[in-house]
């Protein structure tokens, strides 16, 4: 399967403004790109790229005053299969976990697993460990939180999403991440593209999405509390502790986002 994917973001800046931009496909999928997904800007500005502490590809630039457009566009190969599932994947004892997973057991800016620990054990302490427990958490979050773009705000935490019971995909993910960490399951936050391939129309406007990966049975597995089902054509951009680590754009000054378009479409024929 071949998927055409990319994005275009339009901003208005009152003055030259530094930015960090994370919009490129994750290094784990770069080998399937048919052409590089370089960040393109209008007007053209110098772009400096680097890898952050999680291995994500980041771009630094200074946006000029006025209208500024940036984005990516590429084609990627995909196996056309839905997210892999491992129903028998076991939960590791904390003392047996690889050292590199421990970071994803700890509370973070938007995932206050310490604050939600007692509630997590009340809700899920009776569930079987491993895959079944993670699925129980995703089922709960999927049913507890009502989705709506009008419920979005950039400062909402997992605890607030739990108490308010409404939000967008990042809020679903933050809450599920926090619950999993409270249950001693390493869990990392992911952002990227989720296509509508294989889904029954009508389809909504395309957007970036958030999901999570949990460490069970010696490897990382994908879970998606917002959609709560395996999806075809999921393309990772970045992963970290929570959304604070992987903002698509981080602007160091005043700005107004005036245009936003995302595409991820199967190429047929």
Could you list the mean pLDDT of each consecutive 10-residue stretch along the chain, which spans 269 residues?
97 98 96 96 98 96 98 97 96 98 98 98 98 98 96 96 97 98 98 93 89 98 97 97 97 97 93
Q: 232 with 81: CB under 8 angstroms?
A: yes
Tokens of 205: 């406007």
Which of 125, 151, 147 has its CA nearest to residue 136? 125
Q: 137 with 124: CB under 8 angstroms?
A: yes
Regarding beta strands 166-167 and 146-147, do their DSSP bridges make them parallel or antiparallel, or are they unpaired? parallel
Residue with tokens 């990319």: 6
What is the Cα–Cα distance from 66 to 63, expressed in whole angstroms? 9
Which of 115, 96, 119 has its CA nearest to residue 107? 115
Is the pTM higher than 0.85? The answer reads: yes
| Per-residue pLDDT, 204 | 83
Q: 83 with 230: CB under 8 angstroms?
A: yes
What is the Cα–Cα distance from 99 to 28, expressed in whole angstroms? 21
Element (H, E) at 159: helix 158-164
Tokens of 17: 């403004």
Reduced to 3 states (helix: H, G, I; strand: E, B; else coil), residue 237 is: strand
Strands (E), 145-207: 146-147, 166-167, 187-194
Which of 9, 10, 27 has its CA nearest to residue 76? 27
What is the Cα–Cα distance from 60 to 21, expressed in whole angstroms? 6
Reduced to 3 states (helix: H, G, I; strand: E, B; else coil), residue 95 is: helix
| Per-residue pLDDT, 269 | 77
| Per-residue pLDDT, 127 | 98
Tokens of 86: 């491992």
Length of the chain: 269
Regarding beta strands 57-63 and 48-51, do their DSSP bridges make them parallel or antiparallel, or are they unpaired? antiparallel
Which residues, 6 or more positions from 44, have their beta carbon under 8 angstroms from its beta carbon? none
Strands (E), 78-148: 146-147
């Amino acid at each position: 399967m071949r998927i055409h994917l990319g994005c275009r973001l339009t901003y208005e800046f009152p003055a030259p403004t530094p930015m960090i931009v994370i919009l490129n496909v994750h290094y784990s999928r770069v080998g399937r790109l048919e052409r590089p997904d370089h960040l393109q800007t209008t007007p053209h500005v110098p772009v400096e790229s680097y890898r952050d502490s999680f291995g994500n590809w980041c771009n630094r630039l200074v946006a000029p005053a006025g209208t500024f457009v940036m984005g990516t566009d590429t084609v990627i190969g995909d196996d056309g299969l839905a997210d892999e599932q491992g129903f028998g994947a076991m939960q590791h004892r904390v003392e047996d976990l690889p050292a590199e997973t421990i970071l994803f057991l700890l509370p973070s800016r938007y995932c206050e697993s310490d604050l939600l620990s007692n509630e997590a054990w009340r809700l899920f302490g009776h569930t079987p460990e491993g895959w079944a427990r993670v699925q129980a958490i995703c089922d709960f979050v999927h049913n507890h939180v009502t989705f709506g773009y009008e419920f979005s705000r950039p400062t909402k935490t997992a605890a607030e999403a739990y108490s308010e019971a409404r939000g967008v995909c990042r809020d679903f993910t933050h809450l599920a991440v926090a619950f999993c960490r409270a249950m001693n399951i390493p869990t990392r936050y992911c952002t990227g593209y989720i296509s509508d391939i294989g889904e029954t129309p009508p389809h909504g406007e395309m957007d970036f999405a958030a999901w999570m990966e949990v460490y069970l049975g010696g490897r990382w597995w994908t879970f998606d509390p917002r959609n709560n089902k395996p999806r075809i054509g999921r393309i990772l951009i970045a992963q970290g502790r929570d959304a604070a680590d992987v903002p698509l754009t981080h602007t160091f000054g005043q700005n107004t986002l005036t245009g936003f378009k995302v595409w991820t479409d199967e190429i047929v024929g």
